């Protein structure tokens, strides 16, 4: 017996099977359906292809509001906003469904089986085209009164109050923002992969990237003094790029060297499972839900 894990992204739909012990079995990626009804239909087709499924865990962009039972906030997939995804899937599949925000799933997956396993307090920055995040305490997601705790990409890190200018972390180091900023300086790249490849042979470009990553370093240090986590993870596909992780380390050291009064150095690691952490986290969230109802 196993669980079906679904990771809904803005471009792709990832799905796979996970055992009760947390072993990720086969998993696949297909293009995301073009509308909400097609998404429900596609997930129904996936579910019906196997008869030994104990339930379905879903990782979704946007915030799942347990009171309204709907996806709220902003989302990489606009047609999800305002929809009762959990209820609609439960009815269509006739099985137990648990749903959680994708950033939260990434952290839960790492807490269950990854690089912050069983940590008392940990956090994750999920870096992709934008920046997501999450904080957990003893295996429970820190949500806050508005379900927005841990939305680290929205933290303001580029601020000049005298001229009323404020900038978010996601607006500085999300790859969409990073590519746009570098293009203003004459560096034009199709994507982050091409950017990182070229920066390894271009010292000037590398220094520009490190300077932008200092905004992340500032956020890491601030977060350390707010919740004092044991470990802070960098998630998303880019977290598996050792060169990029080294750049983050260099940016963090540069900032800390200028702040000698900061005695605590954040422990920063890459997510063990990268983008696959969402599938594990969606399953862990499902298992927790089923356990509470048993």
- pLDDT tens track of the chain, all 294 residues? 899 999 998 889 999 999 999 999 989 999 999 999 999 999 999 999 888 899 999 999 988 888 888 998 777 789 999 999 999 999 999 999 999 999 999 999 999 999 999 999 999 999 998 999 999 999 999 999 988 899 999 999 999 999 899 999 999 999 999 999 999 999 999 999 999 999 999 999 999 999 999 999 999 999 999 999 999 999 998 999 999 999 999 999 999 999 888 888 999 999 999 889 999 999 999 999 998 764
The pLDDT value given to residue 109 = 97
Structural Rg of the chain based on CA atoms:
19
Of the candidates 135, 12, 30, 29, the residue with the CA atom closest to the CA atom of residue 77? 12
The pLDDT value given to residue 147 = 85
The pLDDT value given to residue 264 = 86
**Structural domains in the chain, sorted by start:** 2-106+275-293 (3.30.420.40), 118-271 (3.30.420.40)
The four Cα atoms 107, 143, 11, 238 give a dihedral, to 10 degrees, of -40
The pLDDT value given to residue 293 = 62
The pLDDT value given to residue 34 = 95
Of the candidates 100, 34, 88, the residue with the CA atom closest to the CA atom of residue 62? 100
């Amino acid at each position: 017996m196993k669980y079906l894990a679904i990771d809904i992204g803005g471009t792709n739909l990832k799905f796979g099977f996970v055992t009760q012990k947390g072993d990720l079995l086969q998993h696949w990626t297909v293009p995301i359906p073009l509308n909400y009804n097609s998404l429900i239909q596609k997930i129904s087709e996936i579910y019906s292809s196997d008869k030994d499924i104990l339930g379905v865990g879903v990782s979704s962009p946007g915030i799942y509001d347990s009171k309204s039972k709907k996806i709220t906030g902003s989302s990489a997939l606009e047609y999800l906003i305002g929809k009762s995804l959990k209820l609609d899937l439960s009815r269509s599949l006739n099985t137990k469904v648990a749903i959680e925000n994708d950033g939260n799933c990434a952290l839960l997956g790492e807490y269950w089986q990854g690089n912050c396993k069983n940590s008392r307090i940990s956090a994750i920055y999920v870096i992709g085209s934008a920046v997501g995040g999450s904080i957990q305490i003893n295996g429970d997601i820190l949500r806050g009164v508005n379900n927005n705790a841990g939305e680290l990409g929205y933290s303001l890190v580029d601020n000049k109050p005298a001229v009323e200018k404020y900038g978010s972390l996601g607006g500085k180091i999300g790859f969409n923002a990073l590519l746009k900023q570098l293009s203003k300086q004459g560096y034009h790249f199709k994507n982050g992969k091409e950017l990182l490849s070229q920066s390894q042979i271009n010292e000037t470009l590398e220094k520009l990237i490190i300077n932008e990553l200092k905004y992340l370093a500032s956020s890491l240090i601030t977060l350390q003094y707010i919740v004092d986590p044991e470990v802070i993870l960098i998630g998303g596909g880019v977290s598996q790029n050792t060169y990029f992780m080294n750049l983050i380390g260099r940016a963090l050291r540069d900032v800390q060297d200028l702040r000698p009064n900061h005695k605590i150095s954040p422990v920063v690691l890459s997510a063990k499972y990268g983008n696959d952490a969402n599938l594990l986290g969606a399953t862990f969230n499902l298992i927790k839900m089923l356990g509470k109802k048993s």
